[in-house]
Amino acid sequence: MPLLAASVACAPALAQDAKAGRIKASSQCAVCHGQDGIAQLPTAANLAGQQEMYLVKAMQDFRSGARSNEMMTVVAKALSDADIANLAAWYSSIKVTVQPPQ
């Protein structure tokens, strides 16, 4: 079965990252940002469907102190580069559709 094994090993890395990100998001981010990335607090951002690069930069900026927020400044300090990549993969994988008011 070497061919099958090879095809499994070459499964898209993004899916793995998103899955790990979903698990971490569920335990550490969902209280404020919602299980599906829709904010639960008026001062929190919707993360669902944000672009991966934007999300990575936001978390890096909170971690470095370039961007400041009472909650995120604390939370981001504990995020590794892998955590940030996984969380960005997860939130950016959520499809968003918009409906402007008439």
Residues of this chain that bind its own copies (CB under 8 A): 18, 22, 36-39, 42-46, 48-54, 57, 66-68, 93-101
Shortest separation between residue 35's beta carbon and its own copies, angstroms: 8
**At closest approach, how far in Å is the CB of 9 from its own copies?**
21
Sign of the Cα pseudo-torsion (64, 66, 67, 68, in order): positive
The distance of closest approach from Cβ of residue 13 to its own copies in the complex, given in angstroms and rounded to an integer, is 15
5 vs 102, beta carbon nearer its own copies:
102
- Identify which of residues 79 and 89 has a Cβ nearer to its own copies in the complex: 89
Report how far residue 18's alpha carbon sits from residue 46's, in angstroms, rounded to the nearest whole number: 17
Distance from C-alpha of 23 to C-alpha of 4, rounded to nearest angstrom: 27
Closest to its own copies by CB, 33 or 79: 33
Are residues 57 and 67 in contact, defined by beta-carbon separation less than 8 angstroms?
Answer: no
Residue 88, φ and ψ in degrees, nearest 5: -65, -40
Query: Of 27 and 43, which has the nearer Cβ to its own copies?
Result: 43
Backbone angles phi, psi at 44, to 5 degrees: -95, 155
